A and B are shown apart, each in its own frame.
Chain A
């Protein structure tokens, strides 16, 4: 049985989670707030707020482009954390996970970084280039501050799956290409076996991400996991509205974005 998930009491649901990822400042801090609110309206349970980085090793071209746009808009780790209370002012209630590479955290320093997370009411933290072996201090500090440190697990994590899953907080991020090829509408046997194995050890909801871009994918994941994480697809939907935004057609952009998100996750 899954334990009640927390995020400082803001997430009590343990299944059918929709976890979108957007990059803070893409294409501007003001629009990040607007897109986040629309995602909440369409049923997002947790918001992964990405911090743009010059050298994002774990990201493909779509998120790299978003990071470049956000860096141009002046975004930084500190400003992304400070965006969280502004999101709240505008009505965002769902928990926020700050998704950042490790180097910017090091430049602020662990002590000040956690102080910032606390002061600005951040509920979760994900550092994609900080694997279990390197994350002990950050995990301990997160625990002290009541911040969920989100762990990732991959199909090739093998013997490490048990250790990672048992220590997981908040939700467990399963990095899995679905094995969906062409017209196939089922997940591959390997992907299913992997998710089953993870669920066996995890005390928190298991959410699947990477490469989820259609409503069919979403439905498939819902059948087998507790949550779906969608990143690149949402970034592409934002990207598609940039022309509208630049021409000042803000309402149209947000309306169209909302419609697309609804079609994706309904």
Chain B
């Protein structure tokens, strides 16, 4: 029998909890109560599923990558097509759930943090759809790198606040969003984009993302009559991975989370939190993080802004410690090679984040037999990455 996590204190074994200033304990309590009521209310769940279907376009397809399977010559490769979700990534599933909850709680203003801008765009989108005001905190360095997404958010009616503290990236944007929430929690809802932060956020985001795994399981059983042998997903904060893994925990499928090795695991420039980090507290949660010997949080690096985060969701830390999920790391170069291979074999341009999961799967597929199956969570599409891809591939195409 699987133990149910989180427990009443918001813990996943040794990880999770609420390591926040006293001023946030009240709002977190209020959120937890509202969330529990909503998740037990059939009308709320029905509305969430209705919006996912008729607005986001779910269920997303399960695609068999036949040419790629033939090319690699091993296990059969299936792709869960979150790239086909409205706004181009899995992020919207969670944004819809939390926006509906915000409305139910009578909060008219939402706050979000964003790195690459995908969660910011998803938040700005649901804000427009549900008539909410939206403030997105984004590091000044990321604003520079992701000009197009900044414009998308503004076009959708959101206010984008530039964060200059720290290195001006996702970690700093998250700090600033939390600070803003502390000061404005009475009428603001903080819409976190990943399975990170204090309890109940990791649980809430997982439960709004498990639709990926629930659909995959049903679709896979329809086609293959049995569960996949291995499931791959990339991990930054870890929401797309928790989403696809969660319904398969305790099943026979082997689960593999893929972190960003950046320029290499033997360099300081990576974002492989579980492989290289140590336990500690970041953004209100006990988990693994990248830090120096004095406990100061260090800056990660990855070519993919969505994986460029020094922490990881506490449930991943637990799954890592209890060996329920295997975690690997993929370099920038390996991810780009996998991206190009998928693009040219299957006509699908994935997000660079998702390409990390692809790269690990492509390494393993040839070692597996043709009777075995692989499911990869293609968490988003690559449109947002065109500028980066042009830099890397211009001479080759």
Which residues of A are interface residues toward B (Cβ below 8 A)?
A: 53-58, 60-61, 64, 71, 76-78, 101-108, 128-134, 152-154, 156-158, 160, 164, 175
Quote the shortest CB–CB distance from B15 to chain A (angstroms).
Answer: 12
Across the two chains, which residue of chain A brings its CB closest to B298? A54
A-B contact pairs, 5 of them (CB 8 A): A103-B291, A103-B297, A107-B293, A128-B21, A156-B25
Contact A57 B18 (CB under 8 A): no
User: Which 3 interchain pairs have the tightest Cβ spacing?
Assistant: A104-B295, A156-B26, A107-B295
Contact A134 B165 (CB under 8 A): no
- Pick the contact of B296 from A57, A71, A164, A175 — CB < 8 Å? A71
Note all chain B residues with C-beta closer than 8 A to A53: 295-296
Note all chain A residues with C-beta closer than 8 A to B166: 54-55
- Pick the contact of A158 from B26, B165, B182, B284 — CB < 8 Å? B26
Contact B18 A131 (CB under 8 A): yes
- State whether A153 and B22 are in contact (beta carbons under 8 Å apart), knowing that A55-B171, A61-B165, A103-B297 are contacts in the complex: yes
Quote the shortest CB–CB distance from A230 to chain B (angstroms).
Answer: 18
Contact A105 B295 (CB under 8 A): yes
Across the two chains, which residue of chain B brings its CB closest to A128? B21
Total A-B residue contacts, Cβ distance less than 8 Å: 102
Tell me the complex Cα distance, A61–B281, Å. Answer: 21
Query: Does B179 sit at the interface, judged by CB under 8 A?
Result: yes
Quote the shortest CB–CB distance from B281 to chain A (angstroms).
Answer: 5
Name B160-176 residues within 8 Å CB distance of A: 165-166, 171, 175
Contact A104 B294 (CB under 8 A): yes
- State whether A175 and B22 are in contact (beta carbons under 8 Å apart), knowing that A55-B282, A103-B281, A103-B291 are contacts in the complex: yes
Residues of chain B at interface, number, CB under 8 A: 34
Note all chain A residues with C-beta closer than 8 A to B165: 61, 64
Tell me the complex Cα distance, A53–B297, Å. Answer: 8
B17, B295, B298 — most chain A CB neighbours (10 Å): B295
- Pick the contact of B294 from A61, A76, A128, A134 — CB < 8 Å? A76
Further contacts, 7 of them, CB under 8 A, given A104-B295, A156-B185: A57-B21, A103-B297, A107-B294, A129-B21, A133-B9, A134-B19, A164-B22
Note all chain A residues with C-beta closer than 8 A to B293: 107
Across the two chains, which residue of chain B brings its CB closest to A60? B179
- Pick the contact of A106 from B18, B21, B178, B279 — CB < 8 Å? B279
B21, B281, B294 — most chain A CB neighbours (10 Å): B294
Note all chain B residues with C-beta closer than 8 A to A76: 294, 296
Quote the shortest CB–CB distance from A101 to chain B (angstroms).
Answer: 8
Query: Does B280 sit at the interface, judged by CB under 8 A?
Result: yes
Quote the shortest CB–CB distance from A42 to chain B (angstroms).
Answer: 28
- Pick the contact of A154 from B26, B175, B284 — CB < 8 Å? B26
- State whether A152 and B295 are in contact (beta carbons under 8 Å apart), knowing that A64-B165, A106-B279 are contacts in the complex: no
Query: Does B20 sit at the interface, judged by CB under 8 A?
Result: yes
- State whether A103 and B282 are in contact (beta carbons under 8 Å apart), knowing that A57-B179, A71-B296, A156-B26 are contacts in the complex: yes
Tell me the complex Cα distance, A55–B282, Å. Answer: 8
A58, A103, A130 — most chain B CB neighbours (10 Å): A103
Across the two chains, which residue of chain A brings its CB closest to B186? A156
Quote the shortest CB–CB distance from A67 to chain B (angstroms).
Answer: 10
- State whether A106 and B284 are in contact (beta carbons under 8 Å apart), knowing that A129-B20, A157-B25 are contacts in the complex: no
- Pick the contact of A157 from B22, B291, B298 — CB < 8 Å? B22
- State whether A129 and B295 are in contact (beta carbons under 8 Å apart), knowing that A134-B18, A134-B19 are contacts in the complex: no
Tell me the complex Cα distance, A164–B178, Å. Answer: 23
Over the window 285-296 of chain B, the binary record of Cβ atoms lying under 8 Å from chain A Cβ atoms (1 yes, 0 no) is 000010101111
Note all chain B residues with C-beta closer than 8 A to A58: 21, 23, 182
Tell me the complex Cα distance, A157–B166, Å. Answer: 30
Tell me the complex Cα distance, A76–B182, Å. Answer: 26
Query: Does B27 sit at the interface, judged by CB under 8 A?
Result: yes
Contact B26 A55 (CB under 8 A): no
Tell me the complex Cα distance, A71–B291, Å. Answer: 14
Note all chain A residues with C-beta closer than 8 A to B23: 58, 154, 156, 175
- Pick the contact of B295 from A64, A103, A160 — CB < 8 Å? A103
Contact B294 A77 (CB under 8 A): yes
Quote the shortest CB–CB distance from B201 to chain A (angstroms).
Answer: 14
Over the window 316-331 of chain B, the binary record of Cβ atoms lying under 8 Å from chain A Cβ atoms (1 yes, 0 no) is 0000000000000000
Note all chain A residues with C-beta closer than 8 A to B291: 103, 107
Note all chain B residues with C-beta closer than 8 A to A132: 25
Note all chain A residues with C-beta closer than 8 A to B279: 106
- Pick the contact of A107 from B9, B17, B22, B280 — CB < 8 Å? B280
Note all chain A residues with C-beta closer than 8 A to B297: 54-55, 103
Name B353-375 residues within 8 Å CB distance of A: none
Name B260-298 residues within 8 Å CB distance of A: 278-284, 289, 291, 293-298
